[in-house]
């Protein structure tokens, strides 16, 4: 399994769900894809520097480190796009841990 770091911008204003509920749902999507979450960090709500849509002037940022097979990553991204409470995502390979 590969190690990934995902930065998620959550839309809690229009969905009505709490941040913890959305994070739990993202974790469930990772588990359904055959992976597991290794670290979670809530970063806080921030305003966007450039507002493209007045309905979305900011979001709650969350960083998740997770393990997932490379072949399952595309399916996970597709499942995330279907969720209205996940506004933006950025998934990168996690840096190797220092030994």
pTM: 0.85
DSSP assignment of 21-61: HHHHHHHHHHHHTT-EEEEEEEEEEEE-SS-SBTTBSEEEE
pLDDT of residue 92: 94
pLDDT of residue 3: 94
pLDDT tens digits, residue range 20-68? 999 999 999 999 999 999 999 999 888 777 777 777 777 899 999 999 9
Backbone angles phi, psi at 22, to 5 degrees: -70, -40
pLDDT of residue 90: 95
């Amino acid at each position: 399994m590969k190690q990934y770091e995902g930065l998620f911008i959550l839309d809690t204003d229009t969905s009505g769900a709490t941040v913890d509920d959305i994070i739990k749902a993202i974790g469930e999507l990772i588990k359904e894809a055959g992976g597991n979450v290794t670290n979670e960090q809530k970063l806080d709500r921030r305003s966007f520097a450039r507002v493209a849509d007045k309905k979305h002037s900011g979001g709650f940022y969350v960083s998740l480190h997770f393990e997932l097979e490379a072949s399952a990553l595309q399916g996970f991204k597709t499942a995330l796009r279907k969720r209205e409470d996940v506004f933006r995502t950025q998934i990168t390979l996690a840096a190797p841990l220092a030994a």
